[in-house]
């Protein structure tokens, strides 16, 4: 008996809800972070959050679908678990990498905007310095 189609079904039953759960968790918890990045502009933060969720779904569901195929038929329950552990593990690693890239990019944006908001002189002013005087009077 060939378990390949069953492997496909179980893989999709695990990875698609996992992707949906991660996207909703990132969206819900990332809203506050985005509001800080965009200085309390809630409408812009919400719009960017929705766009990120759409991009997250496109990227990760596309990866899940492309990674669906198995190279060899699955003949037994052991093969099903081995194939699923490999495939689900790779999907989870990809989800994690995408998450950390998002956090890194938005943290860089946040850091840059904070530096632009609070410009600090490289050296504190020491007072007025007049025009240069010649070294030797003429």
Would you state the pLDDT for residue 43?
Answer: 93
How many Å separate Cα 22 from the centre of its chain? 11
Would you state the pLDDT for residue 32?
Answer: 85
31-74 pLDDT tens trace: 888 888 888 789 998 998 999 899 999 999 999 999 999 989 99
What integer is the mean pLDDT of 111-119? Answer: 76
Q: What does the domain layout of the chain look like in residue ranges?
A: 4-117
72-100 pLDDT tens trace: 999 999 999 999 999 999 999 998 998 88
The C-alpha atoms of residue 92 and residue 22 are separated, in whole angstroms, by: 10
The enclosing H or E element of 46 equals: helix 42-66
The pTM for the full model equals: 0.74
Per-residue pLDDT for 121 more than 80? no
Would you state the pLDDT for residue 50?
Answer: 93
- Written as one string, the DSSP assignment of 49-81 is HHHHHHHHHHHHHHHHHHT---SS---SHHHHH
């Amino acid at each position: 008996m060939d378990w390949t189609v069953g492997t496909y079904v179980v893989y999709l039953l695990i990875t698609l809800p996992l992707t949906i759960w991660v996207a909703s968790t990132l969206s819900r918890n990332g809203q506050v972070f985005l509001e800080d990045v965009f200085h309390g502009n809630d409408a812009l933060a919400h719009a960017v959050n929705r766009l990120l969720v759409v991009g997250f779904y496109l990227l990760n569901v596309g990866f899940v679908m492309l990674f669906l195929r198995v190279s060899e038929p699955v003949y037994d329950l052991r093969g099903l678990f081995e194939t699923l552990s490999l495939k689900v593990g790779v999907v989870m690693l990809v989800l994690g990498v995408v998450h950390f890239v998002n956090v890194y990019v938005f943290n860089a944006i946040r850091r840059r905007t904070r530096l632009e908001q609070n410009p600090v002189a490289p050296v504190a002013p020491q007072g007025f310095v007049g025009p240069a005087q010649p070294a030797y009077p003429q």
